[in-house]
């Protein structure tokens, strides 16, 4: 059972995140002010920085919390390995629009600097595992060539998704639908030749 101090820290952290989510949602990431967030959360400015040493770390916590609350998109009921893999990519990229792209840019810059590697450019840190499991399941069912190196294929697909993700957060003019369709086409080019009987 958590001590009173631990429960209070969790409550303060949750209050800060709730205020930050509301202010960033209404004002935008760039305009949301850390002092205003601290005041509305009824904590000292320094206390806010004890929990989140930078605005980007606060953004990272918001993304991580939101991601944890999302149902994991999976290949449930989809036998076609290309369609299932494309579905994972589309759902991962759609998550970007849940947050301000300016916040994504700062969070990615922060993770690249080595402050926290939990995002490190990935939309969803589990996407590689899910793609790998999907491809391996399709290979074992005989839908994909028996000799297919699913580990390498999953890494290639994960790189395609990450590249699309970075393109979306860097360029506000990029369209999510178009990026999703582009990555789906590239996935099809990679996976299609390995469908059983087509190689």
The CATH number of whichever domain residue 39 belongs to comes to 1.10.10.60
What's the predicted TM-score (pTM) here? 0.68
Whether 38 and 101 map to the same domain: the answer is: no
Q: Is residue 180 included in any domain, yes or no? A: yes
Predicted local distance difference test score (pLDDT) of residue 113: 65
Instruction: Tell me the pLDDT of the chain (199 aa) as tens digits.
Output: 778 899 999 999 999 999 999 999 899 888 999 999 999 999 999 999 999 998 988 988 888 787 776 655 554 445 677 888 888 788 777 777 778 888 888 887 776 665 554 444 445 667 778 888 889 988 998 889 999 899 999 889 988 888 888 888 888 888 888 888 888 999 999 998 998 765 4
43/115 Cα distance (integer angstroms): 24
Q: Angle at the Cα of 136 (from 133 to 141), degrees rounded to 5?
A: 125
- Residue span of the structural domain in which 38 resides: 4-52
CB 48 within 8 A of CB 57: no
**How many domains does one find in the chain?**
2
Indicate if 143 and 174 belong to the same structural domain: yes
Residues 169 and 85 in one domain: yes
76 and 108 in one domain? Answer: yes
Q: 24, 100 in Cβ contact below 8 A? A: yes
Q: Quote the CA–CA distance of 194 and 61 in Å, as a whole number.
A: 39
The reply to whether 81 and 168 lie within a common domain is yes
Report whether 165 contacts 93 (CB < 8 A). yes
Q: Which residue has the tokens 């991580």?
A: 64
What are the φ/ψ torsions at residue 195 (nearest 5 degrees)? Answer: -65, 140
pLDDT at 20: 94
Q: Would you say residue 187 lies in a domain?
A: yes
Residue 99, both tokens:
């947050």
Q: What is the pLDDT of residue 112?
A: 65
State the pLDDT at residue 9.
Answer: 92
């Amino acid at each position: 059972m958590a001590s009173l101090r631990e429960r209070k820290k969790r409550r303060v952290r949750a209050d800060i995140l709730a205020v930050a989510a509301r202010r960033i949602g209404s004002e935008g990431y760039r305009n949301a002010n850390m002092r205003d967030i601290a005041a509305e959360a009824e904590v000292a400015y320094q206390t806010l920085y004890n929990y989140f040493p930078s605005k980007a770390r606060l953004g990272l916590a918001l993304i991580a919390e939101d991601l944890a609350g999302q149902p994991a998109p999976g290949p449930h009921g989809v036998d076609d390995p290309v369609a299932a893999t494309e579905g994972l990519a589309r759902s991962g990229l759609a998550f970007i629009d849940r947050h301000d792209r300016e916040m994504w840019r700062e969070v990615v810059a922060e993770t690249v600097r080595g402050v926290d590697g939990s995002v490190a450019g990935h939309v969803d840190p589990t996407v590689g595992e899910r793609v790998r499991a999907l491809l391996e399941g399709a290979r074992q069912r005989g839908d994909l060539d028996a000799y297919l190196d699913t580990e390498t294929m999953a890494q290639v697909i994960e790189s395609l998704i990450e590249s699309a993700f970075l393109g979306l957060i860097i360029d506000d003019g990029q369209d999510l639908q178009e990026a999703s369709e582009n990555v789906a086409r590239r996935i099809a080019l990679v996976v299609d030749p390995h469908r059983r009987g087509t190689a």
